[in-house]
Amino acid sequence: SGARKVKRVSLALGELSSVTEESVNFYFQALSKGTIAEGAELIFRTVPATYRCHQCQEQFSGEEDRLTCPRCGGSQISLVEGNDILVESIEAEA
């Protein structure tokens, strides 16, 4: 893309992912040395865990150990988001 320097990287970390901001910072600093991304600022956004009930389609947030629907009490629940790690944007100088 013709970028000369990466200034900022925005990341979304799911609250249920096993990755922490500290570990991302550590590895980013080590892996970006000598590249156009060296010294770039990392910005983190935490994505809460969101579930969906298969019975009534209610979407809700909650703790991982509470897997019943608050609307209908159903137990057929699936995770919609909150377990991912996503690069949302990269800001660079051209």
Kindly list the strands in the beta sheet with 85-93, ordered across the sheet, starting from the edge strand earlier in the chain.
41-47, 5-14, 85-93
Per-residue pLDDT band at 64 (split at 50, 70, 90)? low
What are the tens digits of pLDDT across the range 15-62? 999 999 999 999 999 999 999 999 999 999 999 999 999 999 999 987
Of these ranges, 24-28, 69-73, 76-80, the one predicted with the greatest mean pLDDT is 24-28
For 59, the enclosing helix (H) or strand (E) is: strand 59-61
Q: How many CA atoms lie within 13 A of 86 on its CB side?
A: 12
Cβ contact 6:92 at 8 Å: yes
pTM: 0.82
Structural domains of the chain, ranges and CATH numbers in brackets: 5-93 (3.30.2320.80)
